[in-house]
Structure 1
Amino acid sequence: MPNISNRAQQMPASPVRKLVPFALQAKQRGTKVYHLNIGQPDIETPETALNALKNIDLKVLEYALSEGNIEYRKALTEYYHSLDFTDLTPDNFIVTNGGSEALNFAISTLCDDGDEVIIPEPYYANYNGFTSAFNVNVVAVPSTIDTGFALPPIEEFEKKITAKTRAIVICNPGNPTGYLYTREELQQLADIALKYDIVIISDEVYREYVYDGKQQISMFAFPELAENCIIIDSESKRYSMCGVRIGSLITRSKKIHDAAMLFAQARLSPVLLGQIAATAAHQNDGAYIRAVREEYTHRRNVLVDLLNAIPGVICPKPKGAFYCVAELPVDDTEKFAQWLLEKYTLNNETIMVAPAGGFYSNPELGKKQVRIAYVLKEEDLRKSVAILQDSLEKYKLEFNL
């Protein structure tokens, strides 16, 4: 038998997907599973994008440019100009195979073996995988459910900075918490990045979906970070087109851009068809985004209000993205999530949630929390919460909690 690398053996399993075999078994038994575990929206992709794919008139599906085709990069530039970042040109963008590849490029561009990135937690679980693949260490700064997962005191970040620190990674608005950073919080991060000459990697893929009249503030709004900022963007959630795998790494720093381009050239090309669809999606006039934002606002309100009505459940109301983190009155949410799929049904239905331990560097911090994605229609969310309430009562009886 061939040897498997230490790198592969140390790659963490996805907390979102490792329960999938149990969900498949439940479905094979005839149980309906409501998927609250993954950020796959049920929102329809814009017709402009779908029609662009249907009407392709190409004789050869050739390589795209390594940095992305100019038509799409021009569409991205116009989009960022609409956000008032009018200094950007197509040369600031590297198109990637999803936001995930953009994050990989960012980490591999900035970090050597044994270097460190600081991340407020809970954080997007795949950050662990991206850093592990490059032998980069995550240094976590915990936030708490009591504050709605606000940015921890900046002093806590400063305590963690060492000679090996290369970047601070944030997701704004956040996955898994839905927290939306304030201008004051972002300014504190900008100041500390400049003080120690490190980079802010700002994952802004949920930028459009913020609520209650709030606006997302990009790290590009801090021009002093021109040499110390990378933005990660993606079309997956903006236009409900996760399968096209189109993201981008954006920076004002020519030094960072040119280094990241070496990785882009090594992997040859971002997805051609995805760029065609994404370019067409950007032809929408904004009505699509407004309608989707309104729908997510309604779903969030329904879900969070119902969750907080369950005895023992604590769920801060997120200001962005389409996730919330809820604390449940159970002993272990990983055990509970598996039990939901293996042992429990209500009228032959159950739910699948993402145990939050996988979103922390120390899983114990999330042992009683779950991430729930409100990517289902209202009727299904209401059914899901009813299932959750019933299952909590039965779980506590079964395990004498």
Structure 2
Amino acid sequence: MPKLSFKGLEMPESPIRKLAPFADKAIEEGKKIYFLNIGQPDIATPKVALDAVKNSDLDILSYSPSSGFDSYKTKLAKYYVKNGIEVKAEDLIVTTGGSEALLFTMGSITDPGDEVIIPEPFYANYNGFAVASGVTVKPVESHFENNFALPPISEFEAQITDRTKAIIICNPGNPTGYLYTQDEIQKLADLALKHDIFIVADEVYREFVYDGVEHHSIMSLPELKDHAIMVDSVSKRYSMCGARIGCMVSKNKELMATALKFAQARLSPPTFAQIASEAALDTTDDYFLEVNEEYKERRDTLIEALEAIDGVEVAKPKGAFYCVVQLPVEDTEDFAKWLLSEFDVNGETVMVAPAAGFYSSPGMGLNQIRIAYVLEKQNLMKAVSILKMGLQAYNNR
């Protein structure tokens, strides 16, 4: 048999999706599953976005420009300006989801053998994007005990070599829900300038922040004009995960000209999804106020219920809709498989995401899970009740 590529063999499985066969089998057996493993919001997509597609009068579903429709980029730039990010349409490339924006970024700023520094735990696909680009991830550990705050800058600086090209952050964080402070963003900016490296900020959860705190974008710092790259997406903001529309944003003209070549190679982002995304920008602020309040209530409900379980600890998130939970088990992947294959309460069980897959360092996060609080509060309470009974049964086997 012909040999497969090394990078293909090294490509990590998604910790979120690799348990899907166990869930499929459970469903075949007639079990109801409460899905706490994946960040698919149950919030309704804004009607204005869906109507824009339904009412489209296109005669030909043609290519868009490789960088996206000008009308969408112009409107999107105005959205950013409204949120304190001074960019123009020419600073944006529309991508097929935030994932493609990250791949374009990796392709534009790294060569095989280069390195990127990422505070862990981090969005698991960063590992996959790095492998696909032949790039090494240098992790800097953040800690459960302080809700995964930014590690000391000295720990980032200790990882910098002549192959370091960027520091990557997710703000607010997936899987932690941590929201970086203005001081933490400034410290990262100062380090990037000192060593002349990029800062890549995945800001897809910008709208979801709680407890009166503010989101501070890496793009808001004028001194980072040539060093800051923002990745964004409509998936979470408008509950439009299936649209697969994101964008790459930077004021570095040489960088964006390079990224555009990657965009041209894949031709164009999807037309109907851009139409929906452009229309979604007309969504009123009331929508986000209501959604934020709903997620905050879900977060508080979830954390209170989890903390009532013996041996369970929770890192409290300030943004996004995820939290990392420590369980009184040695291997949460084994526990997650067992929940799906061998346990149920009156025909119902839960699916969680083992957190080890969100770390780059081997052996980290083995007793942790990530929970996405994307279910209504009543279903969250039911899911936590099943999880509690599952822990008791699992540890008493």
- TM-score (structure 2 length as normaliser): 0.99
Taking the TM superposition and a 5 Å limit, the aligned residue runs for 1:192-203 are 192-203=191-202
Name the structure 2 match of 1:333. 332
2:218 & 2:306 partners in 1: Cα distance? 33
Q: Which amino acid aligns with 2:40?
A: Q
In structure 1, list runs of 5 or more residues that go unmatched.
none
4+ runs of 1 displaced by more than 6 Å?
Answer: none
- TM-superposed CA distance for 1:2, in Å, is 3.8
2:303 & 2:223 partners in 1: Cα distance? 38
Taking the TM superposition and a 5 Å limit, the aligned residue runs for 1:134-173 are 134-173=133-172
Name the structure 1 match of 2:38. 38
2:73 & 2:2 partners in 1: Cα distance? 43
Q: Which amino acid aligns with 1:217?
A: H
Q: Percent identity?
A: 54
1:89 & 1:368 partners in 2: Cα distance? 45
Name the structure 2 match of 1:263. 262
CA offsets 1:233-269 (integer angstroms, 9 cap, x no match): 1000000000000000000110111111110111110
Name the structure 2 match of 1:299. 298
- TM-superposed CA distance for 1:365, in Å, is 1.3
Matched, 1:312 2:311: yes
- TM-superposed CA distance for 1:312, in Å, is 0.6
* SS of corresponding position for 1:202: strand
Instruction: State the superposition RMSD in angstroms.
Output: 0.7
Name the structure 1 match of 2:321. 322
CA offsets 1:339-377 (integer angstroms, 9 cap, x no match): 000111111100000000000012411000000000000
2:128 & 2:88 partners in 1: Cα distance? 31
Name the structure 1 match of 2:352. 353
* SS of corresponding position for 1:17: coil
2:363 & 2:3 partners in 1: Cα distance? 32
1:353 & 1:137 partners in 2: Cα distance? 28
1:144 & 1:210 partners in 2: Cα distance? 20
- TM-superposed CA distance for 1:3, in Å, is 3.0
Q: Which amino acid aligns with 1:372?
A: I
* SS of corresponding position for 1:365: coil
Taking the TM superposition and a 5 Å limit, the aligned residue runs for 1:1-400 are 1-86=1-86, 88-398=87-397
Q: Which amino acid aligns with 1:79?
A: Y
1:363 & 1:381 partners in 2: Cα distance? 31
Q: Which amino acid aligns with 1:93?
A: L
Q: Which amino acid aligns with 1:98?
A: G
2:361 & 2:309 partners in 1: Cα distance? 27
2:85 & 2:6 partners in 1: Cα distance? 43
CA offsets 1:177-212 (integer angstroms, 9 cap, x no match): 000000111111000000000000000000000000
* SS of corresponding position for 1:345: coil
- TM-superposed CA distance for 1:84, in Å, is 2.4
2:361 & 2:196 partners in 1: Cα distance? 28
Contact 2:14/2:125, CA 8 A, preserved across alignment = yes
Q: Which amino acid aligns with 2:49?
A: A
1:85 & 1:377 partners in 2: Cα distance? 33
2:373 & 2:72 partners in 1: Cα distance? 30
* SS of corresponding position for 1:113: coil
* SS of corresponding position for 2:180: coil
Q: Which amino acid aligns with 1:285?
A: T
1:172 & 1:259 partners in 2: Cα distance? 25
CA offsets 1:299-343 (integer angstroms, 9 cap, x no match): 000001111111111102100000000000001001000000011
2:307 & 2:191 partners in 1: Cα distance? 36
CA offsets 1:206-245 (integer angstroms, 9 cap, x no match): 0000000111100012110000010001000000000000
CA offsets 1:33-74 (integer angstroms, 9 cap, x no match): 110000000000000001001001000000010010011101
- TM-superposed CA distance for 1:168, in Å, is 0.2
CA offsets 1:380-400 (integer angstroms, 9 cap, x no match): 1000000011111111101xx
- How many pairs are equivalent? 397
2:43 & 2:164 partners in 1: Cα distance? 39
1:220 & 1:5 partners in 2: Cα distance? 37
2:227 & 2:45 partners in 1: Cα distance? 34
Q: Which amino acid aligns with 2:300?
A: N
Q: Which amino acid aligns with 1:33?
A: I
* SS of corresponding position for 2:313: coil
2:390 & 2:303 partners in 1: Cα distance? 18
Q: Which amino acid aligns with 2:363?
A: E
* SS of corresponding position for 1:280: helix
Q: Which amino acid aligns with 1:103?
A: L
1:286 & 1:167 partners in 2: Cα distance? 34
* SS of corresponding position for 2:117: strand
2:336 & 2:22 partners in 1: Cα distance? 10
* SS of corresponding position for 1:389: helix
Contact 2:66/2:269, CA 8 A, preserved across alignment = yes
* SS of corresponding position for 1:248: strand
CA offsets 1:105-143 (integer angstroms, 9 cap, x no match): 001100000100000000000000000001100000001
* SS of corresponding position for 1:3: coil
2:84 & 2:309 partners in 1: Cα distance? 43
Point out the more displaced range, 366-375 or 302-311: 302-311
1:5 & 1:103 partners in 2: Cα distance? 22
